[in-house]
Amino acid sequence: MNETDELIELCVRALAMQMSAAPGAELHMTRRCILALTDEISADHNRLILGADADVEGFLVRAVARARERDRPLVALMAPAVAEALPPLATQLGLTAVGAAPLMVLRPNVAVQPTRPIKVVRALGPELVGVAGDLIAAAFDEPRDVIARCIEVSITPTSGMETYVAWDEDRPVCTVSLTLTGDTAGVTLMATPPERQGQGMGRALLTHVIDDYRRRGVERFHLGATEAGRPLYASLGFDLVTDLPVWVLDRAGPVFVP
């Protein structure tokens, strides 16, 4: 198995951990494909990953049909192995190409040291989980109640997603979550509110957490970056594995009958 296919499988598992507790959560999965729907009408909370599955075209058709049945939009990521073949079908189904998401990995031989002393606390219990939710809502300009319903519900001791908050003196300044599979951790929900961006807090938090996880035996880290976040992760030693094409399905659109 090549590294891209392996990372796609890890992304499928991580998305299931992150979204399975949301209200109305509905998951359809294979090893390398997942459809994750919720009760929210935002595409950010209804997601599709399409990897090199033997029936990826059928999975795509069924995923769009189910999203249409529930009147939900979708954000869809395609692995390079299927990105050349699927666009005509995706277009016919009503999806629109909107860009690409860098898939990046930090390998075991890349040294990362904490950049500055910083207080980091794992978000456990309603109060700290709420603090993380406040930071995520502010950073991504999301309604606070949506974050509570769709993200905070997954921040539990047993969900498989661990969330950390960094503090500057007595004020929380940024947060990050990780999903662990074996000796590999997925980095997600890296969130710093706009007024605290550019101050090195996110870098300090992420390097601290990476160092801590490595002490616990984690060897590799992966993430799906934005174009804005790519320079930070590259500067920490994350390599670009590939750019995953991103497509969006609106709630209103053509209905495809195969």
Cβ proximity of 109 and 219 under 8 Å = no
For the chain, what is the mean pLDDT?
93
173 versus 253: which is more confidently predicted?
173
Residue 89: the pLDDT is 97
Distance CA 25, CA 46 (A): 9
C-alpha 253/C-alpha 72 separation (Å) is: 11
The better pLDDT of the pair 255, 251 is held by 251
Asked if residues 72 and 39 have their Cβ atoms less than 8 Å apart, the reply is: no
- Identify the CA nearest to 15 among candidates 39, 40, 43, 36: 36
pLDDT(258) > 70:
no
- pLDDT category at 140 given cuts 50, 70, 90 is very high
At residue 256, the pLDDT reads: 46
Using one digit for the tens of pLDDT, what is the confidence trace for 51-106? 999 999 999 999 999 999 999 999 999 999 899 999 999 999 999 999 999 999 99
Dihedral sign, CA of 86, 91, 96, 97?
positive
Which whole number is the average pLDDT over 206-229?
92
pLDDT at 257 over 50: no
Percent over 90 (pLDDT), the chain: 84
Q: CA–CA separation, 180 vs 14, rounded Å? A: 8
Lowest mean pLDDT among 1-5, 12-16, 91-95, 119-123: 1-5
pLDDT at 181 over 50: yes
Q: What pLDDT shows up at residue 253?
A: 55
First and final CA of the chain: distance in angstroms?
32
Q: How many helices (H) and strands (E) does the chain have?
A: 8, 11
76 and 89 Cβ atoms separated by less than 8 Å: no
What's the whole-model pTM score?
0.92
